[in-house]
Amino acid sequence: MQLYRLLTEDDTSAFCHKVSLALSKGWSLYGDPTYAFDAARGVMRCAQAVVKEVEGDYHPDLKLGEQ
């Protein structure tokens, strides 16, 4: 089964570390990163989709960050 996650974070090195950690755990980039301005907080936000092939069946209680 293929899992999907959308990683989001403020546009800081924390976002790069979050994506790098996912890649180190076997996730693959899916599409291009996106950026948007959060007017309420006055900061840029980043998002990157990642996917990973795993064994088993999907269930809503699955902890994607632990895969």
Boundaries of domain holding 30: 2-56
Does residue 37 belong to any structural domain of this protein?
Answer: yes
pLDDT at residue 65, rounded to an integer = 79
The domain tally of the chain equals 1
Is the pLDDT at 61 greater than 90? The verdict is: no
Q: In what order do the strands lie in the sheet with 28-38?
A: 2-10, 43-53, 28-38
Chain mean pLDDT for the chain: 94
Does residue 32 belong to any structural domain of this protein?
Answer: yes
Does residue 64 belong to any structural domain of this protein?
Answer: no
pTM of the model: 0.87
For the stretch 17-43, what's the b/e string if a residue is b when 16 or more beta carbons lie within 10 angstroms of its beta carbon? ebbeebeeeebeeeeeeeeeeeeeeee
pLDDT at residue 40, rounded to an integer = 97
